[in-house]
Chains A and B, each alone.
Chain A
Amino acid sequence: MKIDHSLPLEYSTEQNRLKILGFWIFLGAEIMLFATLFASYFVLVNGTGNGPSGAEIFEITPVLAETILLLTSSFTIGLAIHAMRLGNKKAMLVFFGITLVLGLAFLGVEIYEFVHYVHVGAGLQTSAFTAILLTTLGTHGAHVTFGLFWGLFILLQVKKNGLTPETTNKSFIFSLYWHFLDVVWIFIFSFVYLKGMM
């Protein structure tokens, strides 16, 4: 395997560069995935049937907490990658760990939120609106959950193998994924919650 030392470690082999580019293309597909959910959401947002509307069930406090948690975790994963490029494994692991803890906290608040919705009579079967709301949030939440496991596995590998071309490549790709989930959340925050409560 040829290693090019003029580039950051995560770009250092041909296979690494392929993986990063491939992942960016995958993110392009993810844009369409969430765009379709948003399109459906906007179409069905008034399809409340006998169920509640968004304004009746949204609560600003947990939503704001989720937003801050995810924004901060996006910041810390950026710091983790920065530390990784400095070759500082310890700082990288700390920032990476903080990111996962923040992600876990986000997930906790989201689960609370879901329980709340079901509790106030906004379940999956209630109306088209509640169904698309829970599906959109759930798809994002499922991505976060998947990311937590994925990130944990990478964390363990960095811990065990150190900063190698493979582990740095995996970590960098994970950071792209995590930033992307933050972007999606910003759109959910703006066009699901804030627009709904406006």
Chain B
Amino acid sequence: MMKELFPRKQVIGFIFSLVLTAVALLVYFMDMSFAVGMTILLVTAFIQAGLQLILFMHAGESEDKTTIYTSIYYGMAIAIITVLGTLLTLVWTYQFQ
């Protein structure tokens, strides 16, 4: 009964998400350069997001799978463009000049 209520996939997913959090915490507890730290954070955050999306949110289970993925990827692409473009225009350009 209990086993039925705690499917393996979700339990492993949860443990994995805790591990990812722990890895991200390394940037706080260890000394490292900004570049290395940011890389760790970017990697762990995006894996975490993908984990939630695919494993917990069942994004790929219905007939509208393509639409759902397109909507999320499109949103993420535009989001990244907006963030990077804004930084480029308002911050980085003044640092390079």
Contacts and interface: CB of A to CB of B under 8 A. Distances in A.
- Direct A/B contact, Cβ within 8 angstroms: yes
A42 B14 contact: no
B28 interface: yes
Interface residues of B, number: 49
A40 to B, nearest CB: 8
Contacts of A72: 14
Interface of A is mostly: helix
A86 B42 CA distance: 36
Contact of B79 (A35, A43, A75): A35
A190 B41 contact: yes
A198 interface: yes
Nearest to B69: A24
A190 B45 contact: yes
Interface of A: 11, 17, 20-21, 24-25, 27-29, 31-32, 34-36, 38-40, 42-43, 60, 64, 67-68, 71-72, 74-75, 77-79, 82-83, 86, 88, 91, 175-176, 179-180, 182-183, 186-187, 189-191, 194-195, 197-198
15 contacts: A17-B64, A27-B72, A35-B78, A35-B79, A35-B80, A35-B82, A68-B21, A74-B52, A74-B56, A78-B10, A180-B52, A182-B52, A186-B49, A195-B27, A195-B38
